[in-house]
Amino acid sequence: MNAINGKEYHQMTNQNQAEAQGKAAVNVTCPHCGKESAYEMWTLINTDQHPEMKQAVRDRSAFVFKCPECGEETPLDYGFVYQQPDLRIMIQYETDPAKADRLEELLSDISNPTVKNLRGANYLFRLVRTANQLADKLAIFDADFDDRIVEIYKLTLLAALRREHPEYDPADGEMIFFKDGDGEYKFQIMQGDQNFGTIGFNESAYEKIANDLVGIMCDIRQELPVVNRQTAVDLMKIISDR
């Protein structure tokens, strides 16, 4: 089996060599005291090399700046590459819309050497643009579910949600898959940055959707890097046209 590591991925996507080592030095201005201080920003997180980062990425504690002057803590939001070799997943989190657009175009080209190497190494690769999307993907893959099926499931829930709550605007909303403290899978419904509530996850409904998609979807590790609501719309159209 071919192998790929985060350093090679950075090089293939034209990242700076220093950043390919995993961190980059930046200056951060504390919003509390106004002092500027040095901060090491993650550019690549490989959980084989840093196993503690599995949880730190999921609870966002990896992205907190503690001001050495006043001691106040500030959450930061920035892009990086997350590589988890035990699950063979790699997620590019890119917060800059223009860069994300360019990456999506680059990585949607199956003839691109980067894509060929990822597929050859049997990596499940995704591109996400927000912290919520990152949390959603990690929770889905932790549960060993297919994110394409989950996106269709969300679409069916969205239709029911809009019937019950016509004030809910899906253009400014999203559903985030998560596991609660009791080990139950659920969706957190967001409207902008406001929590609209939660909906339970029914595994039987998930399996029914999966059965409807037999013979339609490619292998999940051969899928294009962006899987979202539009992916679900496209797949639902294929199902309805059968």
Residue 208 one-letter amino acid? K
pLDDT of residue 12: 41
Report d(CA 179, CA 187) in Å as an integer.
9
Q: Which residues contact 178 (CB under 8 A, 6 or more apart)?
A: 135, 136, 139, 185, 186, 187, 188
Span 213-225, average pLDDT: 91
Full-model pTM: 0.88
Sign, CA torsion 125/128/133/134: positive
Report d(CA 51, CA 48) in Å as an integer.
6
pLDDT in tens, 108-155: 898 888 888 888 888 999 999 999 999 999 999 999 999 999 999 999
Confidence tier at 21 by pLDDT (50, 70, 90): low
Span 37-58, average pLDDT: 96
Find tokens 């939660």 and name the residue.
198
pLDDT of residue 115: 85
Sorted by where each begins, the domain ranges of the chain are 6-129, 145-241
In this predicted model, which residue has the larger pLDDT, 13 or 121?
A: 121
Report d(CA 114, CA 238) in Å as an integer.
29
pLDDT in tens, 73-116: 999 999 999 999 999 999 999 999 999 999 999 988 988 888 88
Which of 19-33, 99-113, 184-198, 203-217 shows the lowest per-residue confidence on average (mean pLDDT)? 19-33
Q: What angle do CA 152, 221, 201 make, to 5 degrees?
A: 30
Report d(CA 220, CA 61) in Å as an integer.
30
CA trace torsion 52, 49, 57, 62 (10° rounding): 80
